[in-house]
Amino acid sequence: MPDTPGNIVRVYPASGANAMLPLTPANNYTPTILLCGGQTMDDGAWGNYSYPAVDTWNIPASSRCDRITPEPTDGSAPAYLQDDSLPVGRTMGQFIALPDGTLLVLNGAENGTAGYAQRTGTTTTFGAMPFGESLATGPVGQPAIYNPNAAPGSRWSTAGLSSSNIPRLYHSSAVLLPDGSVMIAGSNPNIDVNLTTKYPTTYSAEYFYPPYFSAKTRPMPQNVPTTLSYGGNYFDITVQPSSYTGSADDAAKNTTIWLIRQGFTTHAMNMGQRIMQLNNTFTVQNNGTITLHVAQPPPFPTLFQPGPAFLFVTISGIPSSGTFVIVGNGQIGTQPTASASLLPSSVLLAQSSKSANGTGSNGKNAANPTHSMAGLTVSLIVAVTSFTLSCSAMGIC
C-alpha cells in the first residue's frame, strides 16, 4: 500500500473516521475505503501518555479525506485519491452508513487525540492538564452527511442538521437502528468514572433523525424475504401505491434496495459495517403497484460476509424500515454460491395508464412510530437518559 498522504495518522489514537463506500452495481461491487480526519502530529509529539510530551489538546485535527481502492479492477497499483474535506477537522469521528446510500459522520473533536492521561510530573514545570484527563478538546456536535455520488466539491452537507451539545469524545459510539435513525451514546475520556470533570463520563443516549424523516410517506414493502443467498434466483418485493407519492413510473425508476450490516461499534468505528445495493428491475402495474425484481447478493461471500443484516427499500431517497434478514447460511465457513441472478427487463406503465400515481399520505405508513417524532424537527438530536455503556464489560478500553 502507498504511504498515507499528508503524513496524516488515522489509526488509534489519532482515530480518523473510516468506512467502506457503498458496494453497488454501478461500481461493480468494488471495495473503496474512505478515510477522513485524524492527526498530523510529528512522531516525537506523541510522547508517553502517562506523561504527555506536548499538549495534544491544542493540536488541530485534520479535515482531509482520501479514498483508496485496495484492489483496482484495472490492474493498477492502489493509490490514494484526495476527496472533499470534512466541514471541520475531526478526530474520533465515526461513519454510519445510511439506507439512502449516504454516509453520516458524527462524534469526535476538533483538537487532540483519543485516550486519556494523567500528569505525573510537577505542574509547575509542565502545567496542569486543563481538560481533566482528556487528550482532546473542541467537541464536534455538528453531524455531516457525505454523498459518494455527488460531484467533487459538493459531497459534504450540514444543511438542516441540528447539533448536539453533549460532548462525544473517547469511548463514544453510534449505530444505525432498523427505522433508519441513529443512536448515539457514551463518552468517557477518563481513566475511571468521573462525573465532575470537564468532559465527564456520559450515560445519556441520543437519537439522530436524518433528513428523510421529514417525508410524509415512507415505503412499506411487502413479501421481503428473511434469507438471502449468494447468487441464485431473484425474488420479488411488492410496493403498494400507498407507499409512495407522485408518478408510479418515477417511483419505480428511483427505487434502490440496500443491504446494511451496522457492525459492532466501539472506539469511533463500526467493525464489520457494510452497505450493499442489490441490483433490481421492476414492473409497474396499471393500478400503481410496483413489483421489484431483486437480485440476490453477488456470489462472492467475502464482499458481504454471512450473517444478520437489514434490507431497506428506498424510494426517491426515502427508506422503509429495515427487514431483518440472514445472508448466506448464517454459519462461519464456506458458503454455497450460485450463478449471479438474471433479472427480467423493467416494465413501465402502458401509455394508456400514465396517470397512475402513489397515494401515500402523512402518518399511515411512516416507518417510525408517530409518537417518536412528536414535537421534534427533522435531524434534531434528543437526549434519552439512563443508557449505560461499559467498555470494561467488553474487555476493550
Domain ranges of the chain: 5-213+384-394, 216-365
Look up the CATH number of domain 216-365: 2.60.40.10
Give dist(CA 282, CA 238) in Å, integer: 10
Beta bridge partners of 172: 186
Give dist(CA 102, CA 95) in Å, integer: 10
110 SS3 class: strand
245 SS3 class: strand
Give dist(CA 107, CA 306) in Å, integer: 29
Three cell numbers, residue 205:
443516549
242 SS3 class: helix
CA angle 89, 95, 97 (to 5 degrees): 145
Three cell numbers, residue 362:
402523512
Residue 229 backbone dihedrals phi, psi, to 5 degrees: -115, 165
Residue 157 backbone dihedrals phi, psi, to 5 degrees: -145, 140
Residue among 63, 213, 85, 61 nearest 156 (CA): 85
Per-residue confidence (pLDDT) for residue 167, from 0 to 100: 97
Question: Is pLDDT larger for residue 160 or for residue 53?
Answer: 160
Give dist(CA 281, CA 167) in Å, integer: 44
197 SS3 class: coil
Residue among 158, 39, 64 nearest 104 (CA): 158
Give dist(CA 282, CA 132) in Å, integer: 58
Residue among 365, 376, 324 nearest 207 (CA): 376
Q: Which residue type, as a one-letter code, is found at position 381? A: I
Tens of pLDDT, residue by residue over 151-180, are 999 999 999 999 999 999 999 999 999 999
Residue 151 backbone dihedrals phi, psi, to 5 degrees: -65, 145
Q: Are strands 255-261 and 274-278 parallel, antiparallel or unpaired?
A: antiparallel
Tens of pLDDT, residue by residue over 91-128, are 999 999 999 999 999 999 999 999 998 876 554 455 67
Residue 53 backbone dihedrals phi, psi, to 5 degrees: -75, -30
CA-atom Rg of the chain in angstroms: 23
Average pLDDT, the chain: 87
CA 40 to chain centre: 25
DSSP class per residue in 312-355: EEEETTEE-PPEEEEETTSSSS---B-PPPPPPPPB---GGGTT
pLDDT class of 354 with cuts at 50, 70, 90: low
203 SS3 class: coil
Give dist(CA 8, CA 343) in Å, integer: 44
Residue 235 backbone dihedrals phi, psi, to 5 degrees: -130, 160
Question: How many residues does the structure list for the chain?
Answer: 397
Q: Which residue type, as a one-letter code, is found at position 55? A: D
Answer whether residue 300 shows pLDDT above 80. yes
Answer whether residue 2 shows pLDDT above 50. yes
Per-residue confidence (pLDDT) for residue 41, from 0 to 100: 85
Distances (CA, A) of 308 to 143, 179, 273, 304, 323: 27, 16, 11, 10, 10
pLDDT class of 372 with cuts at 50, 70, 90: very low
Answer whether residue 4 shows pLDDT above 80. no
Per-residue confidence (pLDDT) for residue 120, from 0 to 100: 61
Tell me the mean pLDDT in the region 250-259: 97
Three cell numbers, residue 298:
453477488
